[in-house]
Structure formats: C-alpha cells, structure tokens
Chain A
Amino acid sequence: AQTVTQSQPEMSVQEAETVTLSCTYDTSENNYYLFWYKQPPSRQMILVIRQEAYKQQNATENRFSVNFQKAAKSFSLKISDSQLGDTAMYFCAFMTLDNNAGNMLTFGGGTRLMVKP
C-alpha cells in the first residue's frame, strides 16, 4: 500500500514571497503520478500541478513548480510570488498506474497555507 506524508500541518508566508510545501511518499512501484491539489475555503478541490514519475524534468505551472526527487520519494511544491488567493489547504496525492487501481488517489494529510499581506 502507498502512503503520503505531509509533515507541515500549517505554514505561513508573506505576500510576494516564496514558500515550499513538503511531501514524501512510500511506494514499491516505479510507474505512478504525483499531484498537488488546492482546497480554498470554498471546499472545492483544484488540481494545481501533476508530475509523471518517469519524467525527470520537474513540472511547472506558472508560479507553481515542484521538486521531484524520485530516489528520495520526495515531491515538494514551491509557490513563487505568493498571492492572497493562494491561501488554502494543499494536498499532496499519489496515483498508481496499477491495472486494478483505476486512477485511485492516496492523499496526504494536507498543509494549511496562509498568505499574509
């Protein structure tokens, strides 16, 4: 079974600064995907970024980028130029491509990020 761990329950950052959220995972598989989801106070779950395990290049989406260290099983999210709208819960998630899993996600416990003006 896979596990996903987010060791930072809460974090804060000043507006316009950079913040990094940590995520580690445990798996014996070689082919999988990793995701970061954002959950603002509205409760909606929004996909922020995803990374394919077979790709060495780190994924980037505008101000969001990841540092994917496959050997270390680490998948951190970096938010640059933080904005007030980035205030939310952030969930790291793992998805196996095992034939029987059907795109099932395993989530970490979440990190609550507050961006301060």
Chain B
Amino acid sequence: DAGVIQSPRHEVTEMGQEVTLRCKPISGHNSLFWYRQTMMRGLELLIYFNNNVPIDDSGMPEDRFSAKMPNASFSTLKIQPSEPRDSAVYFCASSRSLRGTYNSPLHFGNGTRLTVT
C-alpha cells in the first residue's frame, strides 16, 4: 500500500489567495483526520471524518477553513482567503475504526508545508 498520500508537498502563496490541500487515505480506512502543526501550538486536530461524514470540526480555526470528503478515497482542506498566520505543516491521517474499538493506528501522510506571504 502506498500509504496516505498528500499533495502538494510544498505550497507557497500570497495572502488572500485560495489554497487547496489534498489527501488520499489508505484504501479500506474509514476515518480521516486533518492536523495542523506549528512551532507554537504543536499538532492540532482540525477536523475528522468517519465514513466520509464530518464528525468533529471544532478544531477548524475559522470560517476561512473548510474541508470536504466527497468519497472514501479523497479529501480536501481549503483555506480561503489565506493569511500569513496559516503558514504551517498540514497533515492528513487515516485509520480503520469502529465505534468503541481500536482497529488500527493512525497512518500519517508526509504533510504539506504551506507558506503564506
């Protein structure tokens, strides 16, 4: 299995532009998570999906952030408009999970480093 695939690897954009980050989870995994990593805050959970349905988006910083999972093999995290304080590494992770049980650990993608100037 190729693992969790994220694209792009690096993204540099100007303030005010729209940014879209992409993630392909591991086949067969039904939970997908978006994390943001910064030096100040460490790893923060932004949102997670279970069976393509958003379960908890309380970590999404503000309305400029949105995430979708149109099918089991693809998810996007969009920032519009982007701001310099959004600069961070964004990780996508997936797992196979059933309610109340533990089936597999989270598998992380390599992350997208976003720089907003």
Which residues of A lie under 8 Å from residue B108 when comparing CB positions? 37, 44-45
The residue from B31, B110, B111 contacting A103, defined by CB atoms under 8 A apart: B31
Q: Does A19 contact B (CB under 8 A)?
A: no
| A79 vs chain B, min Cβ distance (A) | 19
* A47 adjacent to chain B (CB < 8 Å): yes
Is there a chain B Cβ closer than 8 Å to A33's Cβ? yes
A115 within 8 A of B: no
CB within 8 A of B45: which of A50, A52, A105? Answer: A105
Asked if A43 and B111 sit within 8 Å, CB to CB, the answer is: yes
A-B CB pair tally, cutoff 8 Å? 59
The digit string for A33-55, where 1 denotes a CB below 8 A from any CB of B, is: 10101000011110100101000
CA distance A44 to B110 in the complex (A): 5
A45/B42 in contact, CB under 8 A: no
Question: From DSSP, what is the main secondary structure of chain A's interface residues?
Answer: loop
Contact B106–A102 (Cβ < 8 Å): no
Chain B interface mostly helix, strand, loop or mixed? strand
B48 touches A99 (CB 8 A): no
With a CB–CB cut-off of 8 A, which chain A residues contact B111? 43-45
* Measured CA separation A99–B102 after assembly (Å): 11
The segment from B19-27, B64-72, B91-99 found at the interface with A is B91-99
* A102–B89 CB distance below 8 A: no
Within the complex, the shortest CB–CB distance from A68 to chain B, in Å, comes to 16
Binding site for B on A (CB under 8 A): 33, 35, 37, 42-45, 47, 50, 52, 91, 95, 97-100, 102-110
Known: A103-B97, A105-B106, A108-B42. 15 other contacts (CB 8 A): A37-B108, A43-B89, A43-B111, A43-B113, A44-B110, A45-B108, A47-B106, A100-B99, A102-B97, A103-B95, A103-B103, A103-B106, A104-B48, A104-B56, A109-B42
Please, could you name 18 A-B residue pairs with CB atoms under 8 Å apart, sorted by A? A35-B105, A37-B108, A43-B89, A43-B110, A44-B111, A91-B42, A91-B43, A95-B102, A99-B99, A102-B48, A103-B95, A103-B97, A103-B106, A104-B33, A104-B45, A104-B56, A109-B42, A110-B43
